[in-house]
Structure 1
């Protein structure tokens, strides 16, 4: 990987990963004593991540606001010691941000593109996360069935950010969730409209009624919008009771 200076090529520099002072308090609350680890990840994103085309150059100055903090606050919806599967992980968002913020989580990053999985493997090693984070190169359906010879995988929580509309997300992600587990889809202003449009598909796939939650209220502005779908039914089984999603130190907001 590069040294992060950009001095020889005039490329991206580590200076762009510096935590803005106005976000310092929120970042400290979200990442706690692992804030330095989050900063190291931010530096890798704005240097190698940009060079490799995983992060747009214009995103580098906003890496904390739009990416790290925006993703890490979703930990509020994840119970302690959960197994998390991050579908379409890309540069590791939200999966790596969650793994840094919550060392109790076990995270699998699912990504089909080779150049992205190489980056993810290197980042996991450099940040010392190999004990809790693994990288799977393949599609979500391959992870769910174990058709590549690795897996099958299943988790308490399946996350996805900027991957696809809710109907396709449910198709790909719900099979990876254990019965009573949940899909957490990071969405924007389209959340309510997507739920209305794709509710029948979600239910047909065994999902419960989707709910919308705001994560990071009082910490980041705007908060992160998350659509949550509990996998209530597995083919051939009766619907599961809605499981409670915990957050560190208490119950999740909105329940």
Structure 2
């Protein structure tokens, strides 16, 4: 039985005491530098600035847990950056449940050719996203919209829809595929349960006219742990 003040991983942590100043945010390890150069190029310092936001105000405002600070690059930023390999040139990308900008802001930094719409229902998260987008100078290519995914149907015609840690595929598909009115694709970041989720979502995928469903690993050769995505084509 848990004692008051404890979570499943032990005593709860006061995030305000754990968050670090942006300039003290973790930097990529020697092993990660190749991936950083590959995905961000001359925008690597902007990506570092973003990590500074995650490690400070992102932790303080509860967008990420304090225990994530040491693995912001490996588990979050580079994990999301690999998704850039799955997105066509010049695409309009809708990132659903954008939260801390993962993968939305990461893709905007990695791919200057993309136009991004970050869809997030919680006001406090939208406020944080707006602040970070402005600080990183991404306003011309990134819009933050406070809305639920279903409210955006008919308001946007995305080429690609992304989602990370939002919900299982059988629930995610009805929220995302309707945002693509022509030809496009859902790229959902998933873990080891990807194949099982596809199996459980087969009926709903067909209902929403999804096809060419496949699991891919991205970032091989650059990431120690490649990123797993489920891709579902539309149109």
TM-score (norm 2): 0.90
Q: CA contact under 8 A between 2:209 and 2:234: conserved in structure 1?
A: yes
Contact 1:158/1:183, CA 8 A, preserved across alignment = yes
Contact 2:39 2:81 in 1 (8 A): yes
C-alpha root-mean-square deviation of aligned residues, in Å?
Answer: 1.1
Q: 1:224 aligns with which of 184, 203, 227?
A: 227
Counterpart CA distance in 2 for 1:89 and 1:120 is 9
2:207 to 204, 210, 215: 204
Runs of at least 4 residues off by over 3 Å: none
CA displacement at 1:19 relative to structure 2? 1.9
1:190 corresponds to which of 164, 189, 193: 193
Contact (CA 8 Å) 1:110, 1:138: kept in 2 or not?
Answer: yes
Task: Return the alpha-carbon distance in structure 2 between the equivalents of residues 155 and 42 of structure 1.
Answer: 27
Residues 1:143 and 2:152 are matched in the alignment: yes
What are structure 1's unaligned runs of at least 5 residues? 1-8, 146-151, 233-255
Runs of 5+ unmatched residues, structure 2: 1-15
Query: Which residue of structure 1 aligns with residue 128 of structure 2?
Result: 119
Give, in angstroms, the shift of residue 179 of structure 1: 2.0
The residue that corresponds to 1:32 in the other structure is: 41
- Spell out, residue by residue over 1:129-148, the C-alpha distance to the aligned partner (whole angstroms, 9 max, x if none): 00000000010011114xxx
Identify if the C-alpha distance between structure 1 residues 204 and 18 changes in structure 2 by more than 3 Å, giving closer, same or farther. same
| SS state at 1:189 partner | coil
**How many residues in Structure 1 have an aligned counterpart in Structure 2?**
218
Q: What CA deviation, in whole Å up to 9, does each residue of 1:101-125 have, x standing for no partner?
A: 0000000000000000000000000
**Structure 2 CA distance for aligned equivalents of residues 183 and 195 of structure 1:** 13
